[in-house]
Chains A and B, each alone.
Chain A
Amino acid sequence: MILFWLIAVPLLGGILAWPAQHWRSHAPRWIALTALAIDAGLMVLLLCGASADDSWLQQLNWEWIPRFGIDFHLGLDGLSFLLIGLTVLLGFMAVGCSWLEISEQKGLFHCNLLWTLAGVIGVFLALDLFLFFFFWEAMLIPMYFLISLWGHENRDYAAMKFFIFTQVGGLLMLIAILALVFLHYRSSGEFTFDYFRLLDNRLEPAAERWILLGFFIAFAIKLPALPFHTWLPDAHTQAPTGGSVLLAGVLLKTGAYGLLRFAIPLFPEAAHDFAPIAMSLGAVSILYAAILAFAQTDLKRLVAYTSISHMGFVLVGLFAFNAQALQGVVMTLLAHGISAAALFMIAGSLQERLHTREMKTMGGFWKTAPRIGSVTLFFSVAALGMPGLGNFIGEFLVLLGSFRSSIIITAVSAAGLIVAPIYALHVVQRVFHGPPPGKGVPCDFGWREMALMIVMMAASLGIGLYPQPLLNACDLPLKKLIAQGERHEH
């Protein structure tokens, strides 16, 4: 039942937040924060009730459309727990960093924000493919509105592009789901969208390959991986800060989660055959996006490309099929969620102060805004994979694991470690170093922004220095996924 409330609370909070701005100007924010706090409380409750022997902490299974074997089936294991934890944390951040930026239609804004979160949490919980698809589409629409209503100068184009790309992916996934269900029906005479029952299904290799491709493209668009990444720089650049935080922090993670939870375990053999292609795409993404990031002069666009580069590591790790790489993937998801979200928050706060994202007009800000400077330095350094901070753990484990399946791809991906400082330190140099400008930043981070950043820095340090609890949390689920792949092999 807790799982249901985990989704319902932000949903209801959103409904409540919409009209709330008419009662009081700040009411929607507090409603959003309350909803998130309740969700955080529920997470703690779940953690207390956890048992060590089963990988599923809790499940919930209600009949929904029995004729087609569709259930409202939710389940939470360590993996979903971590990702939902990240979602709630970044939810707080998204509300916090929109405090001054969003002044119009606050009610509707927070409603959309909470609904996006509800959709994402649903995606991380759904264990019925139809339900998964439902949440997958549901999180998209409020996000579309966040971009198209509160975005920047080119928001209509960006929102439309985002919508069409994800819709195409969604369509392919729907076709793949239906094909899977029908093939299962043909072989077993039973209509079901249930994850566990489909997991035991065996398909013909050719069919498996095509269906995997459908899933893969859908998730690769979301991740995003080359060559489906081009929606992301536009969407990130144009979205309001809160939107960018959610996009980079959690929405991208649903793509990786989909691959990890559904695409690979459902079609292990095809996935193994497909691995060289997927890993190569990942490795190419790392380098290609890193070079593009270096070329950008729009701060948010630059950060957006770094996201693509980091997600390349995720793709490499996912298809390396061993425990180290998969653990690395999960750590990268968490750590990148934090570092990218923080960098977008910084970019947003700079835009708030300067009304521009163009780095050519910036420089020498360290003098007037040392706090923004040092926080940016911190997260740039995190992004380039400094040991002791979160991203390193993820990338190190991914490469450690992928070395065992492909040395060449690991070597190419590791080149990403060389190009990362080129763009990351470029930001610090361009914005904060150099001669002091005629007009600096009007004001440094205040207590609200600093408080948010301290939480984010602590989270990154926590992952970087003591990741063991997180690694333990998703140990069992990941072992199961690996075992699933191996069972099919024999």
Chain B
Amino acid sequence: MLNLLCLVPFFPLAGFLTLAVTEGKLPKRMAPWIGVGSVAVAALLVAAIGVDFLRHPPADGHFRQTLWVWMEVAGFKADFALYLDALSLNMLFVVTGIGFLIHVYSVAYMRDDPGFSRFFAYMNLFVFAMIILVLADNLTLLYLGWEGVGLCSYLLIGFWYEKPENGDAARKAFVVTRVGDTAMALGLFLLFDQLGTLDIQTAMVQARAHWPIGSGYAVAAALLLLGGAVGKSAQLPLQVWLPDAMAGPTPISALIHAATMVTAGVYLIARTHTLFELAPEVRNLVGLIGVITLLLAGFSALVQTDIKRILAYSTISQIGYMFLGLGAGAWSAAIFHLMTHAFFKALLFLAAGALILSLHHEQDIFKMGGSWKRLPVAFWTFLIGAAALIALPPTSGYYSKHEILLAAYSANPWLWAAGVFGALLTALYGSRLILVVFFGPNNTKARENLPLAITLPLIVLAVLSLFGGLLEMPLSSVLAARETHATGTAIIWMTALAPGIGIILALLCYGPLAKPLQILARNPVGLLLQSFWLQGWGFDDLYFRLFIQPYGFLARMNKADVIDRWFRSIVIVAQFSHRMLASTQTGRLRWYAAVMVFGVVLTIAMGMLG
């Protein structure tokens, strides 16, 4: 059964190729069968392989399948080889399972789009690249998947290419993540230079053998890989691309920018956690980045008005929790939260998509008000998603976030405190979302008329969001369990109750206290703070001034190439001297005679003086 592993990436790839080669000329009813079918087969295969793997785990806890030698040069070797262990299996479940649901959803959501077939082609390519990313047995192949998902993200953010803003957002996403990717590539070079291999398992064994804890190489390598992770996972300081990435169709936001690709950084760190264990400073930095990001993004989510941007900031913030878990050394808790987050955030995005569809592409939450009775499916599924996001017991989000926060407490109480405050913020913006979108003043007369292809994935994801907390994979064979300290009951209660406080606050702020709060917020400081948060703490502006403007300036100034100007000046000098000399050829005898006499006199004079 495990030998069928290579077919898992094959089917989505074949789907992509079929859709690409037929250039959208397939009958409209065929395209979704290929696009969805390929991912469905992959998901079924993963289910079968997964059951087999969990029932009869291989002796050493992993299964490797080498397809072909990619490149082998003087000691450097990279294979096209797949590697399956509990961690990659967990990721595979998420990628193909949620991927499949979102593909089904897209059939209805994108039904009337002229680029229907192109959409599924890109989606299939994405699923293929993501599968390669999680199954790669060496870092070079992982990098292929890593860049591949980045490319698909670019293609799908800019899917509606006629609007230049979408293209800008797409390129922004690609270039910003490329900054991280380049750091990661340098990390790969460093690992190869020092350890002589990029095979992940061998490299980790080598690292542990050769590098003492805190060794400079380990720190550098971990830092560089972290660079890649913060780029892909939209963490500080490279988080700026994700809110703009919402320009893509909503299923894309659900699949790529919530459930799978953006969590690749978390996977990378978990996959190479040995390095981070060898570099405790960097591990702490991961936690710190997570905490700061989750707070900043939480505040930003609080003031956004576009439903998708709220969810985008919420994604950044939730990935911050995963980073916090990683930083606390709770590797499996982070992966657990990755999975539950994939459930409830995909659900939230898809439910938001259903809303947006029912409301004729309205994305401003203040124009949606009061729709809870008329849009029951969207409302209830959104509510479940939000409950999981807020981490209310007994939803899936509760279990995973709770685990992370308790781990953070044993690592550093300050991190815990910030995380709990973040949980309060999450509850605040989550409840605000529900209150404003579904309750507020009645603004629309929309009717819900959702096809089965939309409601079914919503219901499945809602079930997963509710009960997904019971699906924690046994990851102990890959990720060493953290030694648990007994935590005081007070801490446990505070962790669990923080969201409740947030909800009560939200009820107050958008209920009885709404008026006084509005007056309170209308002072200059409050307004400034709001617009500051609205723009994501001014990072876009900062980077615009720091990088984009100078780069554009440099390019514009030097369009004609200064170096060429130097070569052109040689031409000008040559032409000038030619003209000077030519002008002496006047053809007048008197002039020639005078010059000759002058020359003779000059020569004699020089002879006499010399």
- Give A contacts to B, CB under 8 Å: 226-227, 229-230, 233, 291-292, 294-296, 322-324, 327, 364, 366-367, 370-371, 374, 381, 386-388, 392-393, 396-397, 399-400, 403-404, 410-411, 414-415, 417-418, 421-422, 425-426, 429, 432-436, 465-468, 471, 475
Contacts and interface: CB of A to CB of B under 8 A. Distances in A.
Contacts of B555: 291-292, 294-295
A50 B154 CA distance: 45
A105 to B, nearest CB: 29
Contacts of A370: 23-24
B451 interface: no
A399 B185 contact: yes
B60 interface: no
* 3 tightest Cβ-Cβ pairs between the two chains A and B: A323-B74, A295-B555, A387-B144
Interface stretch (B92-100, B170-178, B495-503): B170-178
A291 B551 contact: yes
Contacts of B193: 403-404
A322 B171 CA distance: 35
Which of A296, A366, A421, A467 is packed against the most chain B CB atoms within 10 Å? A421
Contact of B563 (A230, A322, A425): A230
B421 interface: no
Given A233-B561, A421-B174, A386 B162 contact: no
B71 interface: yes
20 contacts: A323-B73, A324-B73, A327-B74, A364-B162, A366-B161, A387-B140, A388-B148, A397-B71, A399-B189, A400-B76, A411-B186, A418-B175, A421-B178, A425-B170, A425-B171, A435-B162, A465-B80, A466-B70, A467-B71, A468-B69
A410 B189 contact: yes
Contact of B143 (A226, A387, A475): A387
Given A323-B73, A418-B182, A468-B71, A396 B161 contact: no
Nearest to B198: A400
A386 B74 contact: no
Interface in B41-78: 68-76
Contact of A388 (B24, B74, B144, B178): B144
B556 interface: yes
Contacts of A400: 76, 188-189, 192
B564 interface: yes
A435 B164 contact: yes
A411 B188 CA distance: 12
A403 B73 contact: no
A295 B190 contact: no
B391 interface: no
B13 to A, nearest CB: 11
Interface of B: 20, 23-24, 68-76, 80, 140, 143-144, 147-148, 151, 154, 158, 161-164, 167-168, 170-171, 174-175, 178-179, 181-182, 185-186, 188-190, 192-193, 551, 554-556, 558-559, 561, 563-564, 566-567
Given A327-B74, A388-B144, A417-B182, 19 more contacts: A227-B563, A233-B564, A291-B554, A324-B74, A370-B23, A370-B24, A371-B23, A387-B143, A393-B71, A403-B186, A411-B186, A418-B178, A418-B179, A421-B178, A425-B171, A433-B158, A433-B162, A435-B164, A468-B69
Nearest to B20: A374
B175 A292 contact: no
With most chain A CB atoms within 10 A of its CB, the pick from B24, B151, B168 is B151
Contacts of B563: 226-227, 229-230
A324 B162 contact: no
B178 A417 contact: yes
A81 to B, nearest CB: 18
Nearest to B68: A466
Contacts of A323: 73-75
Contacts of A467: 70-71
Contacts of A387: 140, 143-144, 147-148
A386 B147 contact: yes
A193 B182 CA distance: 45
Contact of B167 (A295, A433, A436): A433
Contacts of A291: 551, 554-555, 558
A332 to B, nearest CB: 13
A410 B186 contact: yes
Contact of B559 (A295, A403, A421): A295
A434 B185 contact: no
A429 B172 CA distance: 12
Contacts of B559: 292, 295-296
B237 to A, nearest CB: 15
A295 B558 contact: yes
A468 B151 CA distance: 25
A429 B167 contact: yes
Most B CB contacts (10 A, CB to CB) among A230, A233, A381, A467 go to A230
A238 to B, nearest CB: 14
Find the residue from B74, B80, B185, B551 having the highest chain A CB count within 10 A.
B74
B193 to A, nearest CB: 6
Contacts of A475: 73
Contacts of B23: 370-371
A432 B192 CA distance: 40
A410 B555 CA distance: 23
Nearest to B145: A387
A467 B78 CA distance: 11
Contacts of A396: 140, 185
Contacts of A399: 185, 189
Contact of A322 (B74, B551, B566): B74
Nearest to A414: B182
A240 to B, nearest CB: 22
B558 A471 contact: no
A415 B189 contact: no
B189 A403 contact: yes
Given A296-B559, A433-B164, A468 B72 contact: yes
Contacts of A294: 551, 555
Nearest to B179: A418
B69 A425 contact: no
B75 to A, nearest CB: 8
A336 B179 CA distance: 23
A387 B72 CA distance: 16
Contacts of A393: 71
A121 to B, nearest CB: 27
A392 B71 CA distance: 12
A399 B188 CA distance: 10
A425 B172 CA distance: 10
Contacts of B178: 417-418, 421
Nearest to B188: A400
A233 B162 CA distance: 31
A374 B19 CA distance: 13
B414 to A, nearest CB: 34
Contacts of B162: 364, 367, 433-436
A227 B566 CA distance: 10
Contacts of A292: 555, 558-559, 561
A403 B164 CA distance: 39
Contacts of A410: 186, 189
Contact of A386 (B68, B151, B190): B151
Given A296-B559, A371-B23, A421 B171 contact: yes
Contacts of B170: 425
Q: Which of B72, B143, B190, B561 has the most CB of A within 10 A?
A: B561
A175 B163 CA distance: 58
Nearest to A426: B171
A295 B73 contact: no
Nearest to A402: B189
A284 B167 CA distance: 29
B555 to A, nearest CB: 4
Given A364-B162, A433-B162, A465 B181 contact: no
B143 A434 contact: no
A429 B70 contact: no
A226 B558 CA distance: 14
A429 B171 contact: yes
Contact of A230 (B143, B164, B567): B567
